[in-house]
Amino acid sequence: MINMTEESMTVLEAGIPHLAHGALQRAYYEALTTGGKVMRAVNGQLVETYADGTETVLRSIHGPVKVTMGARFRLKRRSTPTA
């Protein structure tokens, strides 16, 4: 096991957001190149972005909900449309 000081651990932890941003960006572009499209939430709308740069708005979505730790919610089931 590696012994680390509190300072070195803090420095390493400070780099986590940068690593996460890079990983998310890589996954986004990889999904575009392999699958051809990506769904994202943009300004309160669900948007499908294609590899050629075009975007299609699928629908509006609810805004973010603040949740306190330990809170419990009962989710409503959506009825699925029949074909």
Statement: residue 29 has pLDDT above 90: yes
Q: What is the average pLDDT score of the chain?
A: 89
Q: What is the 3-state secondary structure (H, E, C) of the chain?
A: CCCCCHHHHHHHHHCHHHHHHHHHHHHHHHHHHHHCEEEEEECCEEEEEECCCCEEEEEECCCCCCCCCCCCCCCCCCCCCCC
CA-based torsion, 33, 35, 41, 42: positive or negative:
positive
Residue 51 contacts residue 37 (beta carbons within 8 Å): yes
Express each pLDDT in 49-63 by its tens digit. Answer: 999 999 999 999 988
- Domain spans of the chain? 6-60
